[in-house]
Amino acid sequence: MITFLENAMNLAFIIIVISSAIYCRKLKLTKWKRKLSKGEMTMYILTATALPIYGILYLVFLFEK
């Protein structure tokens, strides 16, 4: 049962990362068409910095083992 819950948690996290990347792409396309609002710009900056940082940290932890 615990392994099922861990797998479900990992799957949910992967879905969150993928949807964040898609949303960041949508905001980038919207930024070309019009000026982003403050909330949209904040989300764009957060997702644009968080995704590469997560990727780098994931690789560091992966190679550490």
Q: DSSP letter string over 14-53?
A: HHHHHHHHHHHHHHHHHHHHSPPPHHHHHHHHHHHHHHHH
CB 33 within 8 A of CB 64: no
What pLDDT does 27 receive?
94
Tokens 């615990």 sit on residue: 2
Q: How many other C-beta atoms can be found within 10 angstroms of the C-beta atom of residue 27? A: 17
Does the predicted TM-score (pTM) go above 0.75?
A: yes
User: Which of 16-20, 54-58, 61-65 has the highest mean predicted lDDT (pLDDT)?
Assistant: 16-20
What pLDDT does 4 receive?
86
Instruction: Please name the helix (run of DSSP H) or strand (run of DSSP E) that holds residue 36, with its range, or none.
Output: none
Q: Give the Cα separation of 61 and 58 in Å (integer).
A: 5
Tens-digit pLDDT profile for residues 5-46:
888 888 999 999 999 999 999 999 999 999 999 999 999 999
